[in-house]
Every structure is written in C-alpha cells, then in structure tokens.
Amino acid sequence: MQANFMINLGDKARVPIMTFSASSSSLMSIRSPYFVRAALSDSSQVKAIGAIVQTFGWREAVPIYADDEFGQGILPFLADALELVTVHIPYKSSIPSSATDDQIVAELYNLMAMETRVFVVHMLTGLGSRLFTKAKLLGMMSEGYAWIITDGMANKLNSADPSAVEAMQFCCCTSNGNLEGFGVSGSGAELIRALSSTTFRGLAGEFELVEGQLQSPPYQIVNVISVGPRVVGYWTKGLSYRISTSARYLKSDIACDRGKEDDGD
C-alpha cells in the first residue's frame, strides 16, 4: 500500500520514485513512467523454482504463502511457471501474517493429510521461522518431504534465529506535510531517462533496468545444512549446473537465493 501511494505521488509530481526494497510482484501491473524498481521482483525467481521441481521429477507442488500483498503477488507467476513444466498445484495454503502458533499447526496438519509432499514457501523470515519450527515438531522436515523457500527468506538465513535455521536442517534451498507546497518537477522526465539508460556492475552484480524493472541475475541454489547455507549450484535461463537428484535430497529444503554468477569453475 505504501509503495502504491508513493508511485501515485511520483506520477502527480512528475518525480521519479526509485525503490530498493519493494519486491512484490503486484507492482509489475503498475504502468508508471516515473517508477523505477532497483529491487528484483519476486516473480523473477519462479522459473528457477519451476526448473528445480522439473529436475527432481515432482508432478505436484503446494505453495505456502503469507496471506498479504507480499505473499499473494507471486502466485499467478508461480502457477504459470509450474504449468510450463507440467506441475499441478492441487492446493494453495495461505497463512495470515498474524497467525497464532495454533493456526499454523492446524494448517500444517491439513497439509499432512494430503498426498503432495512438495511445498514452495513464500513469506518473510518472521512468519517463515515459526512455520518451519512447527513443521519440524510435526515431523514434516523428515525424509519424504521437500521444501523450496523463495528468497524472501533465503536472503536472510545468515541473520535468522539459529533455532529457526536448525528447524530447516536437511532441507535443500524486503509528520504532517505541507500539501499546498506540492509542485510539479520540470526535470523529472530527463532524470527518468538517465536512470533508464544507466548500466554498471556493482557488488550485487549487473545493474540494468528494462521498463523500470531490474533484470534478473543467476540464482544460487542453496542447501541449508548444520554449518549454515551452502551453495550447491546456480540457475540462469538457458544455463545451469547439474544438481544431483538422488533420493536423499527429498529431505532437503531448496532455497532460491539471488546471487552473482561464480567467476571460477
């Protein structure tokens, strides 16, 4: 809601609005010439998720997402990506951001009663940590289950609660103002053109905007183990490292983490 307000404000003032944190896929539908997103859209990772599911030969997957704008935004893009690799979504599990532990447990019991054992989790670290802690207590982090977590959590694993990371073991893996003084910028159009044509290589990789959106880099495939996250491969469109599909990985969470392509081997 705050992002939408700022985008509308930028349109009225003709001032570019640049965000480094708003990643919700729902913002892609906003066609504003003054909106620049220097944060990757959540939807940029869905093809990587689809490739992982296809690699392991799974035929069904259940999204587990926060029931808010952040969680819901990725769903249509994820559904399309899974459909491309002929993976069926039999159920969509929504968990309120303010859910109690009892509500989380009740939904996990609901998931346990289903045949599908492959889950794609899209939520922020706070709710996700509670989800995995309860899932471990119910035995859902054991062999036979597969968990894929999006970068909403994967990017924060190093700073997450240690007990929450432990729960993910053996899972492969954003004062009143003077409204009368509101004006219209005379240089906004020139500034947005300059931003749109800017490219450089920074600490996080290549910076390039296409239609106001930051382009997707390669994704790291991260395995959560006892010593912390470990990179087991990379995914990028048309290129991937081979990932073992042995049965032992069925008890692994797979985390999609945005990262730079390795300059080595």
Lowest mean pLDDT among 75-84, 117-126, 165-174: 165-174
Count other Cβ atoms within 10 Å, centred on residue 186: 8
Q: Which residue has the higher pLDDT, 247 or 153?
A: 153
- What pLDDT, in 10s, does the model give residues 22-70? 545 555 555 666 666 555 555 678 888 898 899 889 999 999 999 987 7
**What is the percent of the chain where pLDDT is above 70?**
59
The two most distant CA atoms of the chain are separated, in Å, by 65
pLDDT (0 to 100) of residue 171: 63
State the fold for domain 43-174+217-258: Rossmann fold (3.40.50)
- What pLDDT, in 10s, does the model give residues 93-141? 999 999 999 999 999 999 999 999 999 999 888 899 999 999 999 999 9
C-alpha–C-alpha distance, residues 42 and 129, integer Å:
19
**Where along the chain do its domains lie?**
2-41+176-214, 43-174+217-258
Q: What is the mean pLDDT of the chain?
A: 74
Task: Give the chain's length.
Answer: 265
pLDDT (0 to 100) of residue 170: 60
Helix axes 75-84, 46-55, angle to 10 degrees: 40
Helix, strand, coil tally for the chain in percent (to 5)? 40, 25, 40
